[in-house]
């Protein structure tokens, strides 16, 4: 497994991570919380397989299934240790800040110091751990100064409950202000061939500040794999049906990018998913002002087969010409449709 350093922490993490959200929520059959038990065994096996192959960067959040996903990750880690593994084999990353009711309804964002402390204790219980390796603020709370939120997170570090802190979907000004309070190890934001917004400012600022850029939805919520050709592919309650990029009109337009990916993937004998991930991995740099930061994709899956496919992207080497062809196939702003519904777009800190 290829490894990279997490920010300035000195911690070595796998160059690709595992996003666990879909194991509990939003996509496919797991959009129905009553059906999650149907996929739990395979999800647990997928997390354990990741750890056994040296993929140690495991991503979850307290709102994924309202605690179910954190419980699943904690259970998989305990099973890993019962089989002879170590707690240190996993870099457990979770998030707080998005608030949901017991029925899954969205209640807003909370970054107040009291909520930070409460959310951390709840996540530790769900995970069954005594510390969280990387703790993110999931969304920035516009009602709470970032200095107060990060100050509370810094206290968790001092107490040994959290090792390192991160932000998710934070604007560059927010990121700079946060770093004046406590070092930020990672910024997690959506980035892929059809979501290239971070190239405007975020990558440069992360490189300048020595922050690892964690790219979520690196496969465009499955679209860049080539398996979604129309909206009928998605279950009736799949959350992607609410995303403008997955409307019938948008899919027809955005498939032009998939066709470009498929063409280059065919030349390499790899899958479209591997090709799209290889492009993203190639955007990674060595840090420093005006250079690119480490870019660490966290493709999500609940199946061991797909996990192996994603890891295989580390062995795909695209030429400079091929990288440019892919970049030109979908320049920034090309994709049709916003990446979230309007309400969720408003929650992004810019």
Task: Give the ranges where the chain is alpha helix by DSSP (H).
Answer: 40-52, 68-82, 113-127, 146-158, 172-179, 202-209, 248-268, 272-281, 304-312, 320-329, 342-346
Burial category of 238 from C-beta neighbours within 10 Å (exposed 0-12, middle 13-18, buried 19 and up): buried
Q: Which of 64, 135, 136, 340 is catalytic?
A: 64
Based on the residue annotation, tell me whether 64 is a catalytic residue of this protein: yes
- Quick one: tokens of 130? 């005594």
Taking alpha carbons only, the member of 130, 108, 110 closest to residue 121 is 130
Report CA torsion sign: 309, 341, 122, 296.
Answer: positive
HEC readout, 47-91: HHHHHHCCCCEEECCCCCCCCHHHHHHHHHHHHHHHCCCCHHHCE
Q: Name the residue among 317, 186, 188 with its Cα closest to residue 264.
A: 317
Q: Which residues are catalytic?
A: 64
């Amino acid at each position: 497994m290829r490894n990279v350093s997490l920010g300035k922490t000195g911690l070595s993490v796998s160059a690709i991570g595992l996003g666990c959200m879909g194991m509990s929520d939003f996509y496919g059959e797991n959009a129905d919380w009553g059906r999650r038990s149907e996929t739990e065994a395979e999800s647990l096996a997928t997390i354990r397989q990741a750890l056994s192959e040296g993929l140690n960067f495991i991503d979850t959040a307290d709102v994924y299934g309202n605690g179910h996903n954190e419980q699943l990750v904690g259970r998989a880690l305990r099973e890993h240790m019962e089989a002879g593994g170590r707690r240190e084999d996993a870099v457990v990353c979770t998030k707080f800040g998005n608030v949901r009711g017991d029925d899954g309804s969205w209640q807003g964002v909370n970054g107040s110091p009291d909520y930070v402390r409460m959310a951390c204790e709840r996540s530790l219980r769900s995970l069954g751990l005594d510390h969280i390796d990387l703790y993110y603020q999931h969304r920035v709370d516009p009602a709470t100064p970032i200095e107060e939120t990060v100050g509370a997170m810094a206290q968790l570090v001092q107490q040994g409950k959290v090792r390192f802190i991160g932000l998710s979907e934070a604007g560059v000004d927010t990121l700079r202000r946060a770093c004046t309070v406590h070092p930020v190890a990672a910024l997690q934001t959506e980035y892929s061939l059809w979501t290239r917004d971070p190239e405007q400012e975020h990558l440069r600022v992360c490189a300048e500040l020595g922050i690892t850029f964690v790219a979520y939805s690196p496969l465009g919520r499955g679209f860049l794999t080539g398996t979604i050709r129309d909206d009928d592919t998605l279950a009736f309650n799949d959350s992607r049906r609410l995303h403008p990029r997955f409307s019938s009109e948008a899919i027809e337009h955005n498939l032009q990018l998939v066709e470009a990916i498929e063409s280059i993937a065919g030349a390499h004998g790899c899958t479209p998913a591997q090709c799209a991930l290889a492009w993203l991995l190639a955007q990674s740099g060595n840090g420093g002002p005006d250079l690119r930061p480490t870019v660490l994709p966290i493709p999500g899956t609940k199946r061991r087969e797909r996990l192996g496919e994603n890891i295989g992207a580390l062995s795909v080497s695209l030429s400079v010409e091929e990288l440019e062809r892919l970049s030109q196939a979908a320049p920034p702003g090309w994709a049709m449709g916003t990446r979230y519904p309007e309400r969720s777009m408003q929650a992004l800190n810019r």
